[in-house]
Amino acid sequence: MSAQESVSAIDHSRTAYGDEAFSRYLRRAFLASAGYDDVDLDRPVIGIAVTTSAYNTCHREMPALADAVRRGVLEAGGLPMEFPTISLGEILTSPTSMLFRNLMAMDTEEMIHALPMDAAILLGGCDKTVPAQLMAAASADKPVLLEVVGPMMTGSWRGERLGACTDCRRLWARHRAGELDAGEITQARGELVTTAGTCAVMGTASTMACMTETLGMMLPGGATAGAATGERLRHGAATGRRAVELARQGAPIPREILTKHAFENAIKVLAALGGSTNALVHLVAVARRAGIDLSLTEFDTIGAKVPLLVDCKPSGANYMEDFHRSGGLPALLKELEPHLETSTVGISGRPLAELLEQTRPREDWQHVIRPLGDPLGPPGALAVLTGSLAPNGAVIKTSAASAELLQHTGPAFVVEAGQDIARILDDPDLDITPDHVLVLRGAGPVGAGMPEAGALPIPGKLARQGIRDIVRVSDARMSGTSYGTVVLHCDPEAAAGGPLAVVRNGDLIRLDVPARRLDLMVDEAEIARRLRDFTPAPLPSRGWRRLYAETVLPASQGADLSFL
């Protein structure tokens, strides 16, 4: 091949030297130093985004998964080329991985465009990596597939199965209530996270993996296979092979897969899963990237007829490994078939109707997936609220809330995002009752990057009385593994001058989930007067945090950056 010819992706996305032929020549010269010859470089090039990091323990086994993906690419005649992107480990990222979701999406999108590749495979798993990768894919102009590391396996302590991180929170609540001493909670800690992989329950990571498979951006069967299993590696190899096929076709690109019907199906699956409230923010962001009009209220209206079917923590009692053994997402889709638009086509190239035709109907042994006629819970596992305290919307996970608190009026007790909240709530002299509504503010996208702080701890004196839930309201998020009567994502947020900013201790707040209302029981004129006197905190002084705070959209619009 002459220096002037260009038949491979390796000659695309050229480095600008003012001489395109020289750019191609120089690129191949440097690649020769890595052992590549023209036979290698004239194959379909598959870029593999790898998010391995010592700071992201969920991705500990990603090197083995990447090996399997590379093997699949090579088997199909392609050339695998790995590239790194930001890796967002939820637990070790300060102040919250959500602050960096959009940065990772930008990083991934720009690398897909800047590096020569015919198709991309994005390897992720932990909470914000998959949403960031979906956002990047939606903006890409070449085929993209996602593959996740998969969930971890459960542990055992004193004869009880444990799995991160719903059980982490439950045991910590027992410790706060004085039921477990320091030695016991430390001993239990060693059994909460026993293998590599994402959380063992239907938290944000597994919810978004299921959303990705439902949207069609992952090969069928990929959302739930365990991180430690051979099935996960086999799925990775199949993903590698399929990427080469898509590279040769040059299609479909993500925008052709991420249709309105695909998002509607995802919302229905989300309802059946009792999935993470974080999915609402992420799916709206991905839809906006794909040019799809998806409003927050549609999560209520579209999912209104779909009951809770999956018996997994925190909405149920089981774990992801149990869901997988019951058939995983394909089996759930089969059960939901009457509710789904089955003409959608994902990266498998086959219509959903065809995939469902080849999926066996539910059988008795699939106990984690309940039949439509005998659901685990009623429709409305996730509810969208509006009212004077959240004019543009707020969300609550009703399937993980206390039924007796879904209609509740009580006085506010306000804490600020920057305070030592645990110390305040553990004060033995705190004047608070089970009827109070805990309010956290200043924790929205602008105010604090929207951390998972919304599931505020039960005040110590109440926990010791046996109180396990009270109403909590905030502009923050909560972990998908959390539970309780927790209202989240209040929009406008406090830092942007939303009504949450002017709530005072003792103000009555009314929660009415059946009516989809969240109201501050204060005269409108008084609220307006308080807002006129409100002065927001200054923005961060520099860097990413300044750019983020200046350009981030509200939660109801996906909390993406306005210019994206």
- What average pLDDT does range 548-552 have in this prediction? 97
How far apart are the C-alpha atoms of 101 and 286, rounded to whole Å? 12
Asked whether 173 and 459 are in contact (CB, 8 A), the reply is no
How far apart are the C-alpha atoms of 222 and 243, rounded to whole Å? 15
What pLDDT is attached to residue 8?
80
- What average pLDDT does range 98-125 have in this prediction? 97
What pLDDT is attached to residue 43?
96
pTM, 2 dp: 0.95
Q: Does the pLDDT value for residue 12 go beyond 90?
A: no
- What average pLDDT does range 119-145 have in this prediction? 97
What percentage of the chain exceeds 70 in pLDDT? 99
Q: Does the pLDDT value for residue 340 go beyond 80?
A: yes
Strand, helix or coil for residue 304: coil
For 239, the token pair is 């993903």
Where does the pLDDT of residue 526 fall: very low under 50, low under 70, confident under 90, or very high at 90 and above? very high
Strand, helix or coil for residue 415: strand
217 alpha carbon, distance to own chain's centre: 15
Where does the pLDDT of residue 356 fall: very low under 50, low under 70, confident under 90, or very high at 90 and above? very high
Where does the pLDDT of residue 14 fall: very low under 50, low under 70, confident under 90, or very high at 90 and above? confident
- What average pLDDT does range 314-339 have in this prediction? 96
Asked whether 508 and 411 are in contact (CB, 8 A), the reply is yes
- What average pLDDT does range 127-133 have in this prediction? 97
What pLDDT is attached to residue 362?
85
- What average pLDDT does range 341-363 have in this prediction? 95
Phi, psi of 192 (to 5 degrees): -80, -35
Per-residue pLDDT tens digits for 189-217: 999 999 999 999 999 999 999 999 999 99
Q: Which domains does the chain have, with CATH numbers?
A: 43-153+196-357 (3.40.50.2300), 156-189 (no CATH), 382-557 (3.50.30.80)
Where does the pLDDT of residue 6 fall: very low under 50, low under 70, confident under 90, or very high at 90 and above? very low
Q: Does the pLDDT value for residue 5 go beyond 70?
A: no
**Residue for token pair 């998972």:** 452
CA-nearest of 193, 174, 191, 170 to 182 is: 174
Per-residue pLDDT tens digits for 37-50: 999 999 999 999 99
Give DSSP secondary structure letters for 115-144.
S--SEEEEEE-STTHHHHHHHHHHT-SS-E
What percentage of the chain exceeds 90 in pLDDT? 93
CA-nearest of 528, 541, 549, 536 to 494 is: 536
- What average pLDDT does range 236-263 have in this prediction? 97
- The mean pLDDT of the chain is 95
Q: Does the pLDDT value for residue 2 go beyond 70?
A: no
What pLDDT is attached to residue 564?
87
Per-residue pLDDT tens digits for 400-453: 999 999 999 999 999 999 899 999 999 999 999 999 999 999 999 999 999 999
Sign of CA dihedral 423, 429, 435, 439: negative
What pLDDT is attached to residue 16?
86
Q: Does the pLDDT value for residue 3 go beyond 80?
A: no
- What average pLDDT does range 227-248 have in this prediction? 98
Least confident of 132-136, 292-296, 342-346, 535-539: 535-539
For 180, the token pair is 């477990």
Asked whether 292 and 260 are in contact (CB, 8 A), the reply is yes
**Residue for token pair 């007829």:** 305
What pLDDT is attached to residue 7?
56
Asked whether 531 and 73 are in contact (CB, 8 A), the reply is no
For 190, the token pair is 């060693």
